[in-house]
A = this chain, B = another copy of it.
Amino acid sequence: MTLADMTAERDPSGSVALAVDLGGTKVEAALVTAEGVVVDGSAHRAPTGPDAGRRALEDAVDRVVLASIAHLPDGSALVGVGVGSAGPVDLGRGTVSPKNLPRLHGFDLRTHVARLLPDAPVVVRLDGTCIALAEHWLGATRGTENSMAMIVSTGVGGGIILHGRLIAGRSGNAGHIGQVQIASRVPGESADDATLERIASGPRSVAWARTRGWDGHTGEELAVDAAAGDPVARSAVVRSATAVGQAIASAATLLDLEAVAVGGGFTAVSTDYLDLVRVAVQDAIVLDYAAGVVVTGSALDGAGPILGAAALVHRPEALGLPPLDPMHHPRRRSLAR
């Protein structure tokens, strides 16, 4: 018996969301139930990347969407499509311009997806805000009203929930914590280089260590050497975590946050990475109320973007929208392929 069968048996009238995540290295799609369960067999992915042409990227989106939707369980209803995208985005125009997919800039992702599924409402949001929504729904910030989620990886991104509601901002780009200034630049670096991503990301940490004589090339090598006691590798790890902590301190002060969930591949560079972040948060905070912010690891890791995209459908109240009315959505119909 597959998970899809189980889901169908357990909740024969189940509402299912199609979740799509468009990122700099891959695009993913999956069907997700209202309980946050990925329907068995429905998760599909295709590569993207900065060198891909526009047509190839559009085809990749189509391919994962159609492969995923084919797994809609009998008796389930597709109640909507949630799409997370690498930013920046322009929600007013409905377009996305992922930094690492230059050929796709100005892409009308909403209309592109909607043409495949003409009866389902499609909601697009920044991927970082989807991750915040996922942690708030099913993960590390569940039960809080004011939280942030962060990803530290090849880039540094995030999303913010305040008073229980996803913060989009004017154009949908709120949550770009990677481009916030922090104080931890070293003498000789310019203020331009004092934004979080340029200090703390995996590639920047590797590059920083190399300028100081370390001769590895990857985050994995940095992790091994830091664990083995290489002082430069270890310094690169501490420098990244400290910068992340300083940015969290600023955000927790400015927004009076309860909790911050930190995930992303580079946080695995050291087993004490989160501890280093927590120390830096406390060192940088100057007002008592902010010191109560709880810093945790992500509870969802790689599943965050897809679960968050699904939350755009299943948790409309967090977007400031009225709750889904099932009568206003197509139910129990077959989807044209």
Contacts and interface: CB of A to CB of B under 8 A. Distances in A.
Copies in the complex: 2
A247 B250 CA distance: 10
Contacts of A162: 162, 167, 169, 174
Interface string A45-80: 000000000000000000000000000000000000
Nearest to A90: B289
B174 A256 contact: yes
Contacts of A146: 169-170, 174
A145 interface: yes
A283 to B, nearest CB: 8
Residue of A90, A176, A192, A247 ringed by the most chain B CB atoms within 10 A: A176
Interface in A129-187: 145-146, 160, 162-163, 165, 167-177, 179-185, 187
28 contacts: A88-B287, A146-B169, A160-B254, A162-B167, A163-B320, A167-B255, A169-B255, A169-B256, A170-B258, A171-B256, A172-B256, A174-B255, A174-B256, A176-B253, A176-B254, A176-B256, A177-B254, A180-B254, A181-B182, A181-B247, A181-B250, A183-B183, A183-B194, A191-B246, A191-B284, A192-B284, A195-B286, A254-B254
Given A170-B256, A181-B249, A183-B191, 9 more contacts: A146-B169, A170-B257, A171-B256, A174-B254, A175-B254, A181-B247, A183-B183, A183-B195, A191-B284
